[in-house]
Amino acid sequence: MKINAQPFAYEFDPAHTALVLIDMQRDFIEPGGFGETLGNNVSLLEAIVPATQAVLSAWRAAGGLVVHTREAHRPDLSDCPPAKRNRGNPRLRIGDAGPMGRILIAGEPGNQIIDALAPVAGELVIDKPGKGAFYATGLHELLQARGITHLIFGGVTTEVCVQTSMREANDRGYDCLLLEDCTESYFPQFKAATVDMIRAQGAIVGWTSTGAALRAALAEPLAA
Ligand code: TIU
């Protein structure tokens, strides 16, 4: 299957491709979570939910593997380096009690994926202590066991956890595509720069396209 992308068409076989949705959690998208405690306007991120939901439905209908990640720490914070917890000047730190439970802690209400994109049976849910999806998670091994060679990315935020995960994936040999309308940043200029730098130099990190282009390709699998 081939879809229009930049800097040139992206080719993939859905049987060997996973849709990877990065950290679509209440902690980043809703008020009162980690994103807001860092001083961000979280309302910007909601805008990508409908496009991401449409892609997720189409990908599920096509039978493709779905991977959801969550930035999450253990309740005892043993996987949270003090350097990460102390960074910046947040109103609430990782592990502190907030309106949606303890900030960025596994199992808390705020740490869950938003209802609109909730995982279903058979999908991989990866809790990650870092910004990248491959650090300290075993994700590479899980993907290799399933014969996955291509990864299609959406999620938040573009220049932090999405970009870090794409770079980790690229270094591990995956062909990566970023869906521009299914990713967002608290800083529009950082999203734009990230999209540009990913596809620069002949797709140095990966390709970029849109959810609509992916859905169109999935709707006509025999045409590709
Ligand atoms: N702060 C910010 O932009 N992002 C993060 O801390 N984590 C993710 O991107 N998921």
112 lines ligand 1 (CB under 6 A): no
23 is catalytic: yes
How far is C-alpha 51 from the chain's CA centre? 14
Quote the pLDDT of residue 224: 47
Give per-residue pLDDT as tens, 124-142: 999 999 999 999 999 999 9
Distance CA 137, CA 80 (A): 14
Distance 87 CA to ligand 1 centre (A): 13
pLDDT of 221 higher than 80: no
Give per-residue pLDDT as tens, 67-78: 999 999 999 999
Q: Which residue has the tokens 């076989």?
A: 13
pLDDT of 114 higher than 70: yes
Distance CA 135, CA 53 (A): 26
Q: Is 61 helix (H, G, I), strand (E, B) or coil?
A: helix
Ligand 1 pocket check: which of 23, 40, 134 to mutate, most ligand atoms within 8 Å of Cβ? 23
Query: Closest residue (by CA) to atom 10 of ligand 1?
Result: 161
Active-site position among 27, 80, 131, 161: 161
- Interhelix angle 188-203/163-171, nearest 10 degrees: 20
Q: Which residue has the tokens 């209440």?
A: 26
80 is catalytic: no
Q: Are the C-beta atoms of residues 113 and 25 closer than 8 Å to each other? A: yes
The minimum-distance atom of ligand 1 relative to the CA of 35 is 1
Q: Are the C-beta atoms of residues 22 and 133 closer than 8 Å to each other? A: yes
Take residue 90 and report the two structure tokens written for it. 């947040």
Query: Closest residue (by CA) to atom 1 of ligand 1?
Result: 35
- Asked if the bond preceding 7 is cis, omega within 30° of 0, the reply is yes
